[in-house]
């Protein structure tokens, strides 16, 4: 093939690509289907999730009517709702950008520690998520004008940073802090579900009661965003905790109607949430926050006094400091085995010595749950722990021999958790397609067997089996929001009879981790029955329940010991602490007061906010269309806006238009610009770029390619002439954080002035074709609160070549990064290696690798850690070093970060500072180069949702053994 025929080849490739896309469309990718009404387009996986569509349509329709009535929201467009089953615990997300969209993972949710509403999940999630969309999509005449001007709401894109401004103009209420978004949604979710929600959750009361008892710091709005969601063990959950509490207090102190007025966008309302707050409440947000904290201290002091009105159960802490979040634990001869997750250490299974107090790490965990960490089972006979990984994907079952530390993955993607060991088998609960199935996993634990599938909405969790193996217990949530403790004879369950032997109805108080006593007479567990999480014991024979503790904050996860004592996890402001108590049946316990209940008493209007039951809707009368979801037939105009572009450091003006389908499975971006500069030849002043993506396919074409960030340099991405490319990316292994991606790309260039990847090297060929296919592997870990990867492996192998001047020049490069965590919090050490080789004449620019420089632009959109890339070599000029082959070895130390508190404003504040030092050696042929350098990255938050990084670095380069040059770098990474 000659380079001149390349455009034709690319054309046919594009046709084939389009054909492939069309063929895929005829059947709908991945079985996606849709059903729509005038208000919602519900997309789901057919046939597995089809059964949920009536319920989803009904709950959506009811919730939308509520949002219209209470918040005055008239949706800007039809809302898209996606049902998927990609995670083993339910969750959902929402955004008004670029279109109103809700995404549901339909698995049962985790109720651990009462951190989620007891209500039926679709009903509750729909209400919660639609609050997010309604309170951000709300529009006034101002927003209507901007949206019409841009053709829609503008989604911020790194390639065009002006979109940050356009986004604010079109969706100003999206620019709110996370605590505001979640606080509004959780507060409303509670009353929309008739009181079942986190505004009345025991966990939320406990957190503040413990903070007051322990004298912990209350974050102000700035501190919450800058520090509270990063260094606290609850990390991002603090946004929910603080937001919910502040909204609840506002309703209590100022009225729920004022809360609604704050959220609405009526004529005369203010664009910015903080201005609107002052407009409605007559005081600043900061002042109100301080009022709330003062109130909270008194409120919790009264609750503590109520608890202390009865003798508080003494407890002895087994370790001096909190272990963050903790799983169910098992006691064995002085050792407490459990899974722990706290700041600065990767989540792990550990052995906690209750006598000496230390924790021995046994195995790292991946993709853990925030509070529950993982489900853990213990076989004392073989001294093996069983646990699950990948809780937000498809769970694996793993065995760990505690004495040898030997790990083995037993079942991959089995989707089973809630594990408990019973006489050679494991029992667990499998989540698939929204249903919960009790399964048995017989030895050798390599396959599972269905025991019983519960109806939709009935969800068992926290299993245990009696020591004699006859009885199985579980907490069970029902559609009504009631949660039960139930006990079944296992034999009857296996025979298909799911009628419990005995049960206890805890109402909306979640029964937590009930476990059998050694004599099987009792089940011990915890519940917020009195508002405080205390330990209760359930007598299996009689069904009688007694409280056996009076905790100040909360006791959880009891581990009955042979001597009758219990190990419990005591909640403190710093996390859970294992402790010993003597359980004694108590006759008197005082209940605490829930702030949410006080709101209902003082302002009964919230009791009128319940969303009607889904059964009052006949969705069949609303449906206007249904069928296979074909993304390419759903492509629609998203928005268009003016942009600034750079062409070889010259300023151009242009316009960008974006077209995509409602799920963004396919998209087309078009940028046209003109550079009115006399420094640019006339035939290079016009610029056009088109990018196309559909699932794994990507293609693009450009004429005199331009780039916003070329305005700043030193790296220039704009190129003269015509270029076109096509490629396909596919994840061969997707097991986050472990993944292996295949990436391919074929590109054609015509009339280039410099090489595509080496701006300082003249292009000697009129036409150029580049081919590249690479495997990219990554498996890295980071601990809670980390700002970078702290350990793991990153590797890649890329094969390809250049075709120029009728010569084919093959080449290859490899990379291997190995990292380990240092004992100092969040510090790590990395060895980063790269090597490459190409065939051809050493003087041929197409047969060389070009390296040098940091590569960061003064204003940039790519990764700030550019010195890690194979083509970078700080201390030398860009592209200064070259060779047909090279090897580079870098030792990098990432030092502990500094996390800032309250430095800036909530909308613009410093988050953290991350220092790193590195030194490298590079060989190109017979030449040897060295460098040593440092880089500091200062991360700050802009407009609550966007993170920017200001980086500064310096490096000294050595050629042979002599100092060659030094380089300074400063760069602002946008978004």
Partner 1 sequence: MNVPSRKPYAWAGIAIAAVAVVVAGHYLFGFPPGVDNLTGTITPAERYRAPQQISAADVKLGDQSVAQLLQNDAVVKLINDPEFQALAANRKALEALSALAAAPKALEALSAHPSAFHAIAMDAMSYKKFAGKPEALAASAEAFKKMNPKALEALAARPEALEAMAAHAEAFKAIAARPKALDALAAHSSALAALSARPNALDAAARASMDAKKK
Residue 77 sits in the site that holds partner 1 (CB under 8 A): no
Least distance from partner 1 to the Cβ atom of residue 621, Å? 13
String of contacts with partner 1 for each residue 353-372, x by CB under 8 A:
----------------xx--
Q: 111 with 78: CB under 8 angstroms?
A: no
For residue 890, state whether it binds partner 1 (rule: CB under 8 A): no
Min CB(342)–partner 1 separation in Å: 16
Number of residues that bind partner 1 (CB under 8 A): 144
Q: Are 634 and 627 in contact (CB under 8 A)?
A: no
Shortest Cβ 918–partner 1 spacing (Å): 28
Residue in this structure with the two tokens 């049946």, named with its chain if needed: 585
Tokens of 66: 């509520």
The strand pair at 625-628 and 738-750 is best described as unpaired
From residue 264 to residue 303, what is the string marking binding to partner 1 with x (rule CB under 8 A)?
----------------------------------------
Class of residue 820 by CB neighbours under 10 A (exposed 0-12, middle 13-18, buried 19+)? exposed
Composition of the chain by helix, strand, coil, percent to 5: 25, 40, 35
What DSSP designation does 704 have? E
240 is an interface residue for partner 1 by CB under 8 A: yes
Residue 741 touching partner 1 (CB under 8 A): yes
As measured in angstroms, the least distance from the Cβ of 507 to partner 1 is 2
By CB under 8 A, residue 486 contacts partner 1: no
Token digits for 140? 């006034």
**Mode of pairing for the β-strands spanning 483-489 and 471-477:** antiparallel
Q: How many CB atoms lie within 10 A of CB 126?
A: 28
What CA–CA distance (Å, rounded) separates 272 from 945? 15
CA dist., res. 137 & res. 822, Å (int): 45
Per CB under 8 A, contacts with partner 1 among 665-704 are: 665, 667, 693, 695-696
Minimum CB separation from partner 1 for residue 166, in Å? 14
Q: Give the range of 10-18, 455-463, 649-657, 872-880 binding partner 1 by CB under 8 A.
A: 455-463
A 10 A CB-CB count for 729 gives: 16
Residues 416-445 that bind partner 1 (CB under 8 A): 430, 432-435, 437, 439
Q: Per CB under 8 A, does 448 bind partner 1?
A: yes
Contact between 17 and partner 1 per CB under 8 A: no
664 binds partner 1 (CB under 8 A): yes
946-959 and 534-539 beta bridge pairing? unpaired
Please give the structure tokens belonging to residue 511: 């029964």
Q: Is there binding between residue 849 and partner 1 (CB under 8 A)?
A: no
Element housing 168 (H / E)? helix 163-170
Asked if residue 594 binds partner 1 (CB under 8 A), the reply is: yes
> What gap in Å lies between CA 415 and CA 397, rounded to an integer?
8
Are 605 and 263 contacting, i.e. CB atoms less than 8 angstroms apart?
no
Among 73, 76, 132, 264, binds partner 1 (CB under 8 A): 132
Chain positions 169 to 208 lying near partner 1, rule: CB under 8 A, are 174, 178, 181-182, 185, 193-196, 200, 202
Residue where the block lists tokens 């509520």: 66
Question: How near is the Cβ of 366 to partner 1 at its closest, in Å?
Answer: 13
Is 575 near partner 1 (CB under 8 A)? no
Q: Which is nearer to partner 1, 370 or 872 (CB)?
A: 370
| Residue number with CB closer to partner 1 (88 or 880) | 88
Min separation Cβ 434 and partner 1, Å: 7
Check residue 101 for interaction with partner 1 (CB under 8 A): yes
Q: Identify the residue among 660, 790, 860, 864 touching partner 1 (CB under 8 A).
A: 660
**Least separation in angstroms between CB 829 and partner 1:** 29
831: left (phi over 0), alpha (psi -120 to 50) or beta: beta
Please provide the DSSP assignment of 28-61 as one string.
Answer: -GGGEEEEE-SSEEEEEETTTSGGGHHHHHHHHH
Of 98, 94, 95, 93, the C-alpha closest to 163 is 98
The Cα 590–Cα 306 span in angstroms is 6
Residue in the structure block whose two tokens are 């490739």: 13
Can residue 413 be called a binding residue for partner 1 (CB under 8 A)?
yes
Asked if 585 is part of the footprint of partner 1 (rule: CB under 8 A), the reply reads yes
637 binds partner 1 (CB under 8 A): no
Supply the minimum distance, in Å, between the C-beta of residue 594 and partner 1.
Answer: 5
Of 581-589, 766-774, 809-817, 952-960, the window that binds partner 1 (rule: CB under 8 A) is: 581-589
Q: Which helix (H) or strand (E) holds 283?
A: none
Among 13, 319, 479, 520, binds partner 1 (CB under 8 A): 479
Site residues (CB under 8 A) for partner 1, limited to 106-125: 109, 115-116, 119-120, 122-125
Nearer to partner 1, 131 or 323 (CB): 131
Tell me: does residue 547 bind partner 1 (CB under 8 A). Answer: yes
Contact region for partner 1 (CB under 8 A) — 68-76, 527-535, 791-799, 837-845? Answer: 527-535
Residue 102 buriedness (CB in 10 A; 0-12 / 13-18 / 19+): buried
45 binds partner 1 (CB under 8 A): yes
**Residue 145, both tokens:** 């004008």
């Amino acid at each position: 093939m000659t380079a001149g025929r390349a455009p034709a080849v690319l054309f046919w490739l594009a046709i084939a690509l389009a054909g492939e896309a069309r063929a895929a469309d005829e059947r709908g990718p991945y079985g996606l289907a849709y059903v729509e009404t005038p208000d919602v387009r519900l997309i789901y996986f057919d046939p597995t999730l089809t059964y949920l569509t009536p319920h989803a349509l009904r709950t959506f329709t009811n919730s939308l009517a509520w949002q219209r009535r209470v918040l005055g929201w008239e949706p800007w467009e039809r809302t898209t709702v996606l049902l998927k089953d990609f995670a083993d615990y339910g969750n959902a997300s929402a955004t008004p950008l670029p279109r109103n969209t809700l995404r549901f993972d339909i698995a049962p949710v985790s109720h651990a520690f009462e951190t989620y509403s007891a209500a039926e999940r679709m009903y509750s999630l729909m209400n919660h998520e639609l609050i997010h969309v309604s309170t951000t999509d709300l529009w006034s005449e101002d927003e209507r004008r901007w949206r019409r001007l841009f053709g829609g709401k503008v989604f911020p894109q790194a390639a065009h940073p002006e979109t940050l401004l356009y986004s604010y103009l079109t969706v100003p209420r999206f620019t709110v802090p996370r605590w505001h978004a979640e606080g509004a949604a959780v507060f409303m979710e509670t009353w929309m579900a008739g009181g079942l929600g986190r505004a009345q959750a025991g966990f939320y009361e406990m957190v503040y009661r413990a903070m007051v008892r322990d004298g912990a710091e209350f974050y102000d709005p700035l501190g919450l965003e800058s520090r509270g969601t990063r260094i606290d063990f609850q990390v991002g959950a603090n946004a929910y905790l603080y937001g919910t509490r502040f909204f609840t207090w506002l309703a209590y102190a100022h009225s729920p109607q004022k809360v609604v007025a704050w959220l609405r966008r009526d004529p005369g309302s203010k664009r910015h949430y903080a201005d609107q707050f002052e407009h409605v409440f007559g005081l600043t947000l900061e002042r109100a926050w301080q009022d709330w904290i003062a109130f909270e201290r008194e409120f919790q002091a009264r609750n503590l006094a109520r608890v202390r009105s009865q003798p508080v159960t003494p407890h002895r802490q087994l370790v001096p400091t909190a272990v963050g979040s903790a799983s169910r634990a098992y006691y064995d001869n002085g050792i407490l085995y459990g899974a722990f997750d706290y700041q600065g250490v990767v989540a792990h299974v550990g052995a906690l010595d209750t006598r000496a107090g230390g924790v021995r790490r046994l195995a790292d965990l991946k993709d853990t749950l925030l509070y529950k960490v993982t489900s853990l089972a213990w076989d004392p006979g073989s001294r093996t722990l069983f646990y699950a990984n990948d809780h937000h994907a498809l769970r694996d079952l793993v065995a760990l021999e505690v004495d040898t530390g030997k790990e083995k993955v037993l079942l991959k993607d089995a989707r089973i958790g809630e594990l408990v060991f019973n006489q050679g088998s494991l029992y667990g609960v499998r989540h698939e397609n929204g249903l919960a199935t009790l399964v048995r996993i017989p030895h050798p634990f390599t396959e599972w067997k269905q025991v019983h599938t519960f109806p939709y909405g009935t969800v068992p969790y926290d299993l245990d089996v009696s020591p004699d193996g006859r009885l199985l217990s579980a907490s069970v949530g029902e559609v009504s929001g009631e949660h039960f403790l139930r006990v079944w004879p296992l034999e009857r369950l296996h025979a298909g009879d799911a009628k419990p032997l005995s049960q206890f109805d805890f109402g909306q108080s979640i029964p937590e981790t009930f476990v059998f006593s050694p004599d099987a007479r009792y089940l011990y567990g915890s519940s917020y029955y009195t508002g405080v999480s205390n330990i209760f014991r359930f007598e299996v024979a009689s069904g009688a329940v007694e409280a056996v503790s009076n905790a100040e904050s909360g006791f959880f996860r009891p581990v009955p010991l042979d001597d009758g004592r219990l190990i419990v996890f005591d909640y403190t402001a710093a996390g859970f602490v294992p402790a010993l108590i003597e359980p004694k049946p108590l006759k008197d316990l005082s209940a605490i007061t829930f702030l949410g209940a006080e709101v209902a008493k003082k302002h009964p209007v919230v009791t009128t906010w319940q969303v009607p039951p889904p059964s009052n809707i006949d969705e069949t009368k609303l449906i206007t269309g249904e069928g296979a979801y074909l993304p390419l037939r759903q492509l629609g105009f998203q928005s268009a806006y003016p942009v600034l572009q750079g062409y070889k450091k010259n300023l151009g003006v242009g316009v960008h238009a974006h077209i995509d389908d409602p799920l963004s499975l396919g998209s087309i971006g078009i940028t046209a610009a003109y550079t009115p500069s006399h420094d640019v030849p006339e035939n290079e002043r016009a610029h056009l770029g088109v990018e196309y993506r559909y699932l794994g396919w990507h293609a693009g074409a450009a004429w005199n390619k331009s780039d916003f960030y070329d305005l700043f340099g030193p790296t220039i991405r704009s190129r003269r002439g015509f270029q076109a490319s096509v490629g396909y990316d596919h994840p061969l292994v997707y097991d986050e954080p472990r993944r292996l991606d295949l990436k391919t790309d074929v590109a054609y260039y015509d009339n280039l002035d410099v090489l595509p990847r080496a701006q300082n090297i003249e292009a000697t060929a009129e036409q150029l074709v580049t081919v590249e296919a690479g495997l990219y592997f990554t498996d890295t870990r980071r601990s809670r609160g980390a700002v970078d990867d702290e350990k793991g492996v990153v590797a890649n192998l890329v094969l390809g070549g250049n075709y120029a001047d009728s010569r084919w020049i093959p080449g290859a490069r490899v990379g291997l990064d190995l990292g380990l965590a240092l004992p100092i919090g969040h510090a790590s050490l990395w060895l980063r290696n790269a090597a490459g080789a190409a065939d051809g004449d050493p003087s041929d620019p197409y047969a060389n690798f070009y390296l040098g420089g940091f590569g960061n632009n003064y204003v940039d959109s790519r990764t700030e850690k550019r010195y890690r890339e194979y083509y970078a070599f700080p201390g030398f000029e860009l592209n200064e070093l070259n060779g047909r082959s090279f090897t580079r070895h870098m030792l990098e130390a990432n030092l502990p970060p500094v996390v800032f508190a309250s430095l800036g404003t909530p909308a613009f504040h410093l988050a953290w500072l991350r220092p790193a030092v590195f030194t490298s050696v590079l060989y190109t042929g017979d030449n040897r180069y060295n460098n040593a350098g440092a880089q500091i990255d200062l991360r700050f938050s802009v407009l609550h949702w966007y993170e920017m990084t200001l980086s500064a670095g310096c490096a000294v380069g050595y050629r042979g053994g002599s100092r060659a040059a030094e380089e300074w770098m400063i760069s602002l990474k946008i978004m």
